[in-house]
């Protein structure tokens, strides 16, 4: 081979190798996908896009457990509250009141006693038996079914006269006995202590059902039967 021929052959080989290196650089021949990430992959966020409001908003409060039950509504029931009849002869008349039906008979008894003392609003007949200032301190139910009404001592000077004393005792006793299945009879104490009487006309050494005093309707029926 002549010198001129060798030079030309070397130039051809150099041009071939240069073209091969250029092709590899352009196509990335031989590189794995993980080694050559695209610019789009590098700029892509890790999760779904969120607005600025969504990112800054506080977390929603936890929902109530599926096993939790909503609060039950308060149950009320009607009860018969007795009042003094507005007649010359002492008698009782019924009126209708409402109490919250607690589980404890004593709690229900306190409500009934308060309705008797305060009077039922808009009752169409009769008058409240107790004058202003009479106060029930508490009621207690004994195992034998006797409900004891504890009157405050400052009430005693306000209970004057036979009708007032009978009205307090009779209306409380009959309202409690008829309003509560657990109550058989009603007794009275003052500041937790036994007392012979409130005003000298009703013996408190015994207990009552309230039926010891007539209803106004019973008096009218008896008067009708006695008429000629």
Classify residue 60 by its DSSP letter.
P
CA–centroid distance for 81 within its chain: 25
**Given a cut of 90, is residue 20 above it in pLDDT?**
no
**Given a cut of 90, is residue 140 above it in pLDDT?**
yes
**3-7, 93-97, 107-111: the lowest-pLDDT one:** 3-7
Coil, strand or helix at 104: coil
**Given a cut of 80, is residue 82 above it in pLDDT?**
yes
At 167 the pLDDT is: 97
Q: pLDDT tens digits for 202-225?
A: 999 999 999 999 999 999 998 888
Report residue 154 as tokens. 């400052």
At 2 the pLDDT is: 52
**Are 147 and 138 contacting, i.e. CB atoms less than 8 angstroms apart?**
no
Q: Where are the beta strands (DSSP E) in the chain?
A: 76-84, 92-100, 136-141, 146-151, 185-190
Mean confidence (pLDDT) of the chain: 81
Q: What is the pTM of this model?
A: 0.68
**Residue 102 or residue 17, greater confidence:** 102
Classify residue 192 by its DSSP letter.
T
**58-72, 108-122, 203-217: the lowest-pLDDT one:** 58-72
Residue 59 phi, psi (nearest 5): -65, 145
Kindly indicate the confidence band of residue 45, based on its pLDDT and cuts at 50, 70 and 90.
very low
At 74 the pLDDT is: 85
CA dist., res. 82 & res. 208, Å (int)? 14
**Residue 107 or residue 66, greater confidence:** 107
**Are 171 and 210 contacting, i.e. CB atoms less than 8 angstroms apart?**
yes
Contacts of 164 (CB under 8 A, 6+ apart): 129, 130, 131, 199
**What average pLDDT does range 147-156 have in this prediction?**
97
**What average pLDDT does range 69-84 have in this prediction?**
87
**Given a cut of 60, is residue 53 above it in pLDDT?**
no
Residue 110 phi, psi (nearest 5): -60, -40
CA dist., res. 93 & res. 73, Å (int)? 32
At 116 the pLDDT is: 97
**Residue 214 or residue 62, greater confidence:** 214
Q: Where are the beta strands (DSSP E) in 44-184?
A: 76-84, 92-100, 136-141, 146-151
Among candidate residues 135, 124, 133, the one with its CA nearest the CA of residue 86? 124
CA dist., res. 204 & res. 169, Å (int)? 9
């Amino acid at each position: 081979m002549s010198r001129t021929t060798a030079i030309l052959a070397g130039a051809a080989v150099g041009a071939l190798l240069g073209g091969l290196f250029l092709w590899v650089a352009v196509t990335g021949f031989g590189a794995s996908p993980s080694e050559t990430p695209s610019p789009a992959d590098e700029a892509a966020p890790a999760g779904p896009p969120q607005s600025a409001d969504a990112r800054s908003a506080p977390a929603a409060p936890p929902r109530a457990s599926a096993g939790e039950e909503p609060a039950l509504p308060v149950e009320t029931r009607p009860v018969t509250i007795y009042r003094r009849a507005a007649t010359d002869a002492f008698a009782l008349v019924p009126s209708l009141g409402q109490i919250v039906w607690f589980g404890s008979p004593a709690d229900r008894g306190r409500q009934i006693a308060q309705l008797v003392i305060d009077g039922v609003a808009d009752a169409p007949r009769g008058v409240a038996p107790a004058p202003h200032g009479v106060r029930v301190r508490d009621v207690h139910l004994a195992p034998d079914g006797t409900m004891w009404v504890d009157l405050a001592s400052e009430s005693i000077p306000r209970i004057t006269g036979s009708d007032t004393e009978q009205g307090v005792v009779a209306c409380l006793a009959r309202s409690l006995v008829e309003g509560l299945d657990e109550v058989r009879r009603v007794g009275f104490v003052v500041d937790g202590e036994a007392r012979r009487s409130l005003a000298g006309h009703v013996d408190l050494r015994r207990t009552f059902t309230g039926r010891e005093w007539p209803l106004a309707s019973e008096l009218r029926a008896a008067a009708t039967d006695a008429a000629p």
